């Protein structure tokens, strides 16, 4: 591969410079995405049409020259493949018209095979061929706990009362659903790897709303099952807000750990030890500042992580209204930085 900085960093090798990509790099920060999205008119159509998903995946490669592509899809394709369809409401986000509340609801969910998300698998094949071995392609899925939260709540939530209380009140039912999500996710990610994904990332976006005890019981075992099943493919686990679980996550069979911006690089390294690559973690809001400040904050972060085992990213997905020149300033600062 022409540029395999990302894979080198995940293997723990010294790199000539640090690799950089952005969570949500394919999306509304790019004018070409906004144009295409207006023309197509529906987010789900974009995700489910391999040619379009391929085009959107490649847009940030052309515009930003990042060191990895991430396949354009969504974490909510898994609940849909299990039997719980979602709708994407304009300016509101994803909503599930039906949700999981009873044991009978859990029983109705199927363990999805790869055919349930064949459109993403097809899109990966198209992207792989278009990339022509220039940079790695990242596949992804939601972590079981985060998917569980959407299936029970029906959307994002301020308090996640339904999903969190289910862990206390109906633990067996919760485990039954988490098991089905995990098996579906393993099938899906294995298909992504067979189609050409070089790395996979698990997004545990709602990790930080669980107590450490609940996280250990209801998220960690399922993350481990997925990481083990995918060996030897490098897996990156991004558990947002889970400062309390960093040392446990570092013990999973994963090559990398994503960090949100609330965690200092030193704290993360102390908790995680030296056998894992850290990814992150500039506050996405730094990118609303003047360019000299963006550059300064980025340089500080590069230094704080030290020379090795670091993949540069933001601490969460880039926000849709972020100025593009700040995004480019961030990326160029990383590329010019001498380790
Ligand atoms: O470029 C990329 O990163 C690839 C595309 C990608 C990824 C990795 C999309 C496209 N979604 C995701 C992951 C995803 N989806 C996560 C995990 C990462 C995170 O924490 O941001 C989550 C929680 C979702 C669910 C989701 N999809 C939300 C959040 C809902 C909430 O709880 O408030 C939203 C708004 C979406 C829609 C979506 N997915 C992707 C895009 C580009 C969009 C915006 C749709 C649009 O406006 O065009």
> Residue 319 — φ and ψ, nearest 5°?
-75, 145
Q: What is the pLDDT of residue 217?
A: 98
> b/e map of 256-293 (b: 16 or more CB within 10 Å)?
bbbbbbebebeebbebbeeebbbbbbbbbebbebeeee
Q: Is the peptide bond before 288 cis (omega within 30 degrees of 0)?
A: no
Distance (Å) from CA 329 to ligand 1 centroid: 23
pLDDT confidence of residue 91: 81
Q: Which atom of ligand 1 is nearest to the CA of 60?
A: 1
**Whether residue 238 has its Cβ less than 6 Å from ligand 1:** no
Give the residue whose CA is nearest to atom 21 of ligand 1.
Answer: 317
Q: pLDDT tens for residues 74-92?
A: 999 999 999 999 999 988 8
Closest CA to 236 of 226, 247, 244, 222: 226
Q: Which numbered atom of ligand 1 lies nearest the CA of 156?
A: 32
The residue whose CA is least distant from atom 41 of ligand 1 is: 27
Cα 246 from Cα 279, distance rounded (Å): 12
Burial class of 331 by CB neighbour count within 10 A (0 to 12, 13 to 18, 19+):
buried
Residues whose CB is less than 8 angstroms from the CB of residue 314 and which lie 6 or more positions away in sequence, other chains included: 22, 23, 261, 280, 281, 282, 283, 284, 287, 330
Residue nearest to atom 9 of ligand 1 (CA): 74
**Separation CA 213–CA 219 (nearest Å):** 10
Please tell me the predicted confidence (pLDDT) of residue 75.
Answer: 98
CB 152 within 8 A of CB 166: yes
Residues of the chain with pLDDT under 70: none
Residue 186 confidence (pLDDT): 98
User: What ranges do the domains of the chain cover?
Assistant: 5-276
- The finding on whether 313 has its CB within 6 A of some atom of ligand 1 is no
User: Which ranges of the chain does DSSP label H, i.e. alpha helix?
Assistant: 5-11, 31-40, 43-48, 50-64, 77-82, 103-108, 118-131, 144-153, 161-169, 171-195, 212-218, 220-230, 246-250, 265-272, 291-305, 324-336
Q: Using most ligand atoms within 8 A of CB, pick from 54, 60, 75 the residue to mutate for ligand 1.
A: 75
Residue 3, pLDDT score: 98
SS3 70: strand
CATH topology of domain 5-276: TIM Barrel (3.20.20)
Atom number, ligand 1, closest to the C-alpha of residue 205:
20
Is residue 30 within 6 Å of ligand 1 at its C-beta? no
Residue 2: partners with Cβ closer than 8 Å, 6 or more residues away: 133, 134, 135
Q: Is the CB of 43 under 6 A from ligand 1?
A: yes
User: Is 201 a pocket residue for ligand 1 (Cβ < 6 Å)?
Assistant: no
DSSP state string for 242-259: -GGGHHHHHTSS-SEEE-
Can you read off the two tokens belonging to residue 102?
């009873």
Q: Which of 20, 27, 96 to mutate to test the pocket of ligand 1 (most atoms within 8 A of CB)?
A: 27
pLDDT at 90: 84
Distance CA 186, CA 64 (A): 31
Residue 203 CB–ligand 1 contact under 6 Å: yes
Distance 338 CA to ligand 1 centre (A): 33
> For residues 54 and 38, what is the distance between their CA atoms, to the nearest angstrom?
17
Task: State the Cα–Cα distance between residues 313 and 318, nearest whole angstrom.
Answer: 9
* Structure confidence by residue, pLDDT tens digits, 181-215: 999 999 999 999 999 999 999 999 999 999 999 99
pLDDT at 275: 97
Q: Distance, CA 76 to ligand 1 centroid (Å)?
A: 9
Q: Report the C-alpha gap between 36 and 34 in whole angstroms.
A: 6
Measured from the CB, is residue 24 less than 6 Å from ligand 1? yes
Centroid of ligand 1 to alpha carbon of 80 (angstroms): 15
Mutate to test the pocket of ligand 1, among 317, 321, 327 (most ligand atoms within 8 A of CB): 317
């Amino acid at each position: 591969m022409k540029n395999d900085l990302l894979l080198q960093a995940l293997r723990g090798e010294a790199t000539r410079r640090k690799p950089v990509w952005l969570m949500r790099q394919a999306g509304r920060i790019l004018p070409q995405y906004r144009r295409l999205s207006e023309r197509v008119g529906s987010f789900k159509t974009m995700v489910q049409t391999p040619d379009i998903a391929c085009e959107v995946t490649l847009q940030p490669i052309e515009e930003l020259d990042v060191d990895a592509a991430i396949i354009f899809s969504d974490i909510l394709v898994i609940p849909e493949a299990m039997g719980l369809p979602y709708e994407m409401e304009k300016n509101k986000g994803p909503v599930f018209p039906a949700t999981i509340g009873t044991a009978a609801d859990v029983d109705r969910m199927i363990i999805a095979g790869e055919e349930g998300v064949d459109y993403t698998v097809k899109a990966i094949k198209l992207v792989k061929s278009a990339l022509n071995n220039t940079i790695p392609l990242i596949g992804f899925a939601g972590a079981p706990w985060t998917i569980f939260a959407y299936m029970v709540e029906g959307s994002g939530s301020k308090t996640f009362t339904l999903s969190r209380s289910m862990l206390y009140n109906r633990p067996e039912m919760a485990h039954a659903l988490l098991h089905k999500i995990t098996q579906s996710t393993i099938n899906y990610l294995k298909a992504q790897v067979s189609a050409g994904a070089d790395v996979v990332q698990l997004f545990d976006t709602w990790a930080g709303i669980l107590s450490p005890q609940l996280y250990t019981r209801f998220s960690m075992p399922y993350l481990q099952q997925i990481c083990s099943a995918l060996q030897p493919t490098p897996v990156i686990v991004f558990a947002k807000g889970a400062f309390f679980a960093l040392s446990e996550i570092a013990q999973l069979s994963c090559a990398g750990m994503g960090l949100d911006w609330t965690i200092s690089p030193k704290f993360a390294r102390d908790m995680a030890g030296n056998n894992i690559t850290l990814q992150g973690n500039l506050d996405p809001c730094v990118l609303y500042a003047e360019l000299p400040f963006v550059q300064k904050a980025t340089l500080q972060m590069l230094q704080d992580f030290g020379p090795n085992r670091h993949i540069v990213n933001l601490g969460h997905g880039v926000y849709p209204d972020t100025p593009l020149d700040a995004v480019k300033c961030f990326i160029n600062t990383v590329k010019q930085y001498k380790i």
